[in-house]
Amino acid sequence: MTTRKLDKSDLEQLNTLQESYQRVTSLIATCTIDEEMISMQLAEVEKEKRYQLQQFKDLQHQEQQLISALKEKYGDGEINLAEGIFISQD
């Protein structure tokens, strides 16, 4: 077996290539971690959105119950919240 010393330019090219692989591999790892973190955050946002949508539906239900109760109490008409009055349609 014989050994030969690599030319300086060949050695530089190999080192540059190896450094590039390390840099790209590191960037891929960073992107993968970032992607996972974003995915976790997105899951939390989705969970919160579902909760708030349910809150919205609950509010709509409460509103309908209140409207029904107010119609029974006051009849048909309009409510002026600013003045706190009911205006009958009669």
The confidence score (pLDDT) of residue 19 equals 98
The band of 89, judged by pLDDT with boundaries at 50, 70 and 90, is confident
**Could you give the CA distance from residue 60 to residue 62 in angstroms, rounded to a whole number?**
5
The confidence score (pLDDT) of residue 32 equals 98
Does the pLDDT of residue 90 top 80, yes or no? no
The confidence score (pLDDT) of residue 81 equals 93
Q: Strand, coil or helix: what is 11?
A: helix
Looking up tokens 């919160």 gives 48
The band of 48, judged by pLDDT with boundaries at 50, 70 and 90, is very high
Tokens of 19: 């450094």
pTM of the entire structure? Answer: 0.66
Hey, CA dihedral for 76, 79, 83, 89, is it positive or negative? negative
Mean pLDDT of all residues in 13-25: 98
